[in-house]
Structure 1
């Protein structure tokens, strides 16, 4: 029967630390310390995996909800586009472009009764809006086809409609920045609009500020003859910056081409910075757990000095002694890392069940919709993050075993057995 190498067998036995009853209490204490070290590493690894997964999910969910309302690429000009149909056809023939639609954008004030709200005014072409956004699928009342040129109907975000107390068929007043010159001076331009639809994108910022009109109605209010820009959708949102650069080189210099990553650069940069800082902070938890591993191995070396001396007198080399304690430390580090990865994956993959259960038990709300971009805690587990955390934890465990194992190799048999 094939047996394990002696250093591996002894190292794994020391991990369990079971010996004669005369020192059972001390060995039991070392077993407890080893278990604490393993648990500390596991909790650190699990915490880091869960936090990274939640932050990945938060970024992905907010990005997807943003891009369900926004476009991948926007082509704009200072005033209005001349022959926008020809320009749209030219853009649509480019590689990776899957949809092009005209737009008019501005700011305004919506009022109803005594309530007034600032809004992001957007003019769209209903027949083509579905090519560049998911807005036609997000209606909770009405339809995008209710936007007819000349009827001055408006589609409101769900939160904006609640703020104004507006429902289907109600009328709201829109004030746009451009004014009319009158004998009394420049007067703001105002128009009464009828609510013909309500959309809910799940993104509070847009649901609380978005007002959509037919682009011809929006252009009439702003005294424009043509759309102020084009919205473009591509087949891969991650390649939008690259495609935007290609379009910028192709189109006249008077047109500005902006992709979604540049439009929301500050937000995405803040999320990336926060993710890096959380990674560094939570890595310290794993580092603390590996410090516990150092103390565990040092205590084990001190208690096993008699055993080490006996093995040295029987011909064991210092290298073999060092490998025994290396194996013990690596076994604890490996068990802690694997347990942490398993626990972290279990929590991260079931965060959509765990968080609502905690909220129901303690009657709290972790993500209020009026404070955060989203109202549910998402999770996006990425293999690269899991491997990075697991390997980093195991690497720190290797470093933690170097000093105790070298100390064990330097034990002198005569000194160790003097008081035995």
Structure 2
């Protein structure tokens, strides 16, 4: 009697997550002929977790990359702050730009003249935004200066030509050295009214920013020539201000307004693109919530599979209890069984998502080649390549969330298994 009591005490004091618990959990995960249906459910749960995590990581990475690329392109061409005159023309733009450029946090300033025009070439005519800038300022824009695919920006001020994007060059059917005609409605004032101004310009450089809207609509012209062409001699439309940190424009804005030394209206990039980036943020949050439902459904599959496994293993549970296994041991066996599906599926989903994100552009090109369709049209999505940027914190949150959901999904079936009465389970055996 004493030996039996000691034996029972030894069994009851078995340490948590002992080897036999892992062994039984592993055997329950392996398929047998009588348990094929349960194993199929476990397999689908594994696939659901893996695909849900992978899809969530991939979509969030693409959304982050899309926003990051658009932000870098927009802020690479347009200044972080825009200064426009109030009350009088901006004829002292050189002095204003010099004062602002001396402020702490300002990298450089870019005075410009801007106007809408119609550009025409051998292949047709299209609307364009003609921006007059100084050659030295244009070379400070890496998105333009470092992406010139044909021609050169050397002697831009003296050349009297235009620098256009690759998309505009293809639409107009021109190359470096060819001439295009620029038509502006704001021309000479005559007795019959204002006549359009028509003038031909040679193409001296072709750049490729990688954003279809800019590559197809912007043409850079020397500042003095643009002032003459748009009837703004000695006047600038505004001054773009490029700062060290775009996220700190709110703190720098009052200093810029004061440093201008004249009445001006100052707007930052967040105000000018508020609608666009707000729409992107809403879309990103909605996509996250929708795709998270995939992981939740996969976790529910774990509950159903584990519940069926508990019912099927009722006799085994009863025998284990009569042999001295505690309720805690039974609970841990089924927690290990269910959690293994979720954790392994989460890790596999993370690896799949990571590999896809690294090769997202190659995968897109391969699918486009096989289906003979364009999956990522630059006309619709602005960018010429599909970007993917994995955020460490966000990816870690997805992985932890999937693991926690998988663990929670096993608790109820495991609790039912631990509460099983051995007498009731063996009564009809």
TM-score, scaled to structure 1: 0.89
Correspondence for 1:190? 198
Correspondence for 1:260? 269
What secondary structure, in the 3-state scheme, does the structure 1 residue paired with 2:170 have? helix
- Contact 1:131–1:233 (Cα < 8 Å) also in 2: no
Count residues with an aligned counterpart: 415
Deviations 1:75-100 (A, max 9, x none): 22256323222222221122222222
* CA apart distance, 1:212: 1.2
The 10-residue stretch of structure 1 (288-297 or 397-406) with the greater mean CA deviation from structure 2: 397-406
In 1, the alpha carbon distance for the partners of 2:147 and 2:71 equals: 16
In 1, the alpha carbon distance for the partners of 2:152 and 2:213 equals: 21
- Aligned residue runs from structure 1 range 277-296, under 5 A: 277-296=286-305
- Contact 2:187–2:230 (Cα < 8 Å) also in 1: no
Change (3 A) 1:35 1:275: same
Change (3 A) 1:102 1:6: closer
Deviations 1:207-238 (A, max 9, x none): 11111111111112222222222222222333
Correspondence for 1:64? 72
Change (3 A) 1:226 1:4: farther
In 2, the alpha carbon distance for the partners of 1:205 and 1:187 equals: 29
Correspondence for 2:376? 367
Change (3 A) 1:6 1:133: closer
Correspondence for 2:51? 43
Change (3 A) 1:258 1:103: same
In 2, the alpha carbon distance for the partners of 1:394 and 1:19 equals: 18
Asked if 1:347 is matched to 2:356, the reply is yes
What secondary structure, in the 3-state scheme, does the structure 1 residue paired with 2:385 have? coil
What secondary structure, in the 3-state scheme, does the structure 2 residue paired with 1:119 have? strand
* CA apart distance, 1:290: 0.5
Change (3 A) 1:81 1:364: same
In 2, the alpha carbon distance for the partners of 1:25 and 1:249 equals: 81
* CA apart distance, 1:38: 1.8
* CA apart distance, 1:269: 1.8
* CA apart distance, 1:41: 0.7
The 10-residue stretch of structure 1 (244-253 or 261-270) with the greater mean CA deviation from structure 2: 244-253
The 10-residue stretch of structure 1 (402-411 or 203-212) with the greater mean CA deviation from structure 2: 402-411
Correspondence for 2:153? 144
Partner of residue 168 from structure 1, selected from 171, 176, 183: 176
* CA apart distance, 1:147: 2.9
Change (3 A) 1:80 1:160: farther
Correspondence for 1:238? 247
- Aligned residue runs from structure 1 range 5-44, under 5 A: 5=15, 7-17=17-27, 24-44=32-52
- Contact 1:241–1:261 (Cα < 8 Å) also in 2: no
In 2, the alpha carbon distance for the partners of 1:216 and 1:4 equals: 87
* CA apart distance, 1:123: 0.6
In 2, the alpha carbon distance for the partners of 1:295 and 1:11 equals: 21
Change (3 A) 1:75 1:25: same
- Contact 1:15–1:31 (Cα < 8 Å) also in 2: no
The 10-residue stretch of structure 1 (383-392 or 237-246) with the greater mean CA deviation from structure 2: 237-246
Q: What runs of 5+ residues in structure 2 fail to find an aligned partner?
A: 1-12
What secondary structure, in the 3-state scheme, does the structure 1 residue paired with 2:318 have? helix
What secondary structure, in the 3-state scheme, does the structure 1 residue paired with 2:184 have? strand
What secondary structure, in the 3-state scheme, does the structure 2 residue paired with 1:208 have? helix
- Aligned residue runs from structure 1 range 378-397, under 5 A: 378-397=387-406
Asked if 1:410 is matched to 2:419, the reply is yes
The 10-residue stretch of structure 1 (158-167 or 284-293) with the greater mean CA deviation from structure 2: 158-167
* CA apart distance, 1:407: 1.6
What secondary structure, in the 3-state scheme, does the structure 2 residue paired with 1:17 have? helix
What secondary structure, in the 3-state scheme, does the structure 2 residue paired with 1:227 have? coil
* CA apart distance, 1:293: 0.2
